[in-house]
Amino acid sequence: MAYLVFVTCLWAFSFSLIGEYLSGRVDSDFAVLSRIVLAGLLFLPFLRIRGVSMPLILGMTLIGALQFGVTYLCLYRSFAYLTVPEVLLFTITTPLFVALIDDGLYRRFSPVALLAASMAVLGAGIIRYDGITEGYIIGFLLLQLANFAFAAGQVGYKHLLLRHPTEVPTYRFFGYFYLGALVIALPAFLLFGDATMLPETSLQWTVIAWLGLAASGVGLFLWNRGACLVDAGTLAVMNNALVPAGLLVNLLIWNRDVDLLRLSLGGFVILASLWVNARFSRHAVLSRAI
């Protein structure tokens, strides 16, 4: 749980950096590609082949392609069809996908986990909902694919390590995660990237370095590590904890207008969903070593 809370705070800060310094100024495909390359370089010195089974290597590569590559490709494409409030609104279905995919892999149905995930969606919706415009179907579908890919990556990572246990530390083969993401992001940049919108200032390069090394490198590694230590209901809820955290960071640092009543009410509902899952789910586990 501590890993998920830490990364939530890390990503809340990073989310604001994207909006303040990169959005509309730096090509999104280049931003994603640079994040993947930097994060991959961070884990490259630790990468091992010996002692790591081929199913584990291929599984980690596939998870990276989904959780990082497909997710960000669809996320950034959705901005061409949706307003920012709509993008924020339509990302809140991720907890539902987490709960349903986990249940599907276990061949079970956990109503409490689904209830907790639905409460998290409701809480995030209270905070984020700003109305929607017409003609949003394509953007909505792109974001649902992004949400599904991100959820599948998280749940898949946990199940991959359960089915293919190894004595090799995870940081020794996590580099394959970024290899999978690179397979998606590099062709996207070559096909759709705009070479005229590369970073121009030292501040923009600094932000990209932070996003690549800290948010995408350390952040994704610790998030997936944390996903292995909690049950699906808790993981589902934590996917939407970024909503109040991100708005709070934006309010404190950049003094943006935030509806404090909605923020407080939505945050309370998300916290309540954590309690419901921990109290009533027979699968709830807040710490488990893998």
Tens of pLDDT along 127-173?
A: 666 666 665 678 778 888 998 999 899 989 988 998 888 888 999 99
CB atoms within 10 A of CB 1: 15
Please, which pLDDT band fits residue 41 given cuts at 50, 70 and 90?
Answer: very high
Give how far the C-alpha of residue 10 lies from the chain's centroid of Cα atoms, to the nearest Å: 12
- Cβ 210 vs Cβ 94: under 8 Å: no
Please, which pLDDT band fits residue 42 given cuts at 50, 70 and 90?
Answer: very high
Give the number of residues written for the chain. Answer: 290
Q: Which residue has the higher pLDDT, 84 or 94?
A: 94
Residue 190 pLDDT > 80: yes
Q: What percentage of the chain has pLDDT greater than the value 90?
A: 30
pTM of the model: 0.79
CA-CA distance, 154 to 159, in Å (whole number)? 9
What would the mean pLDDT of 177-192 be, rounded to a whole number? 93
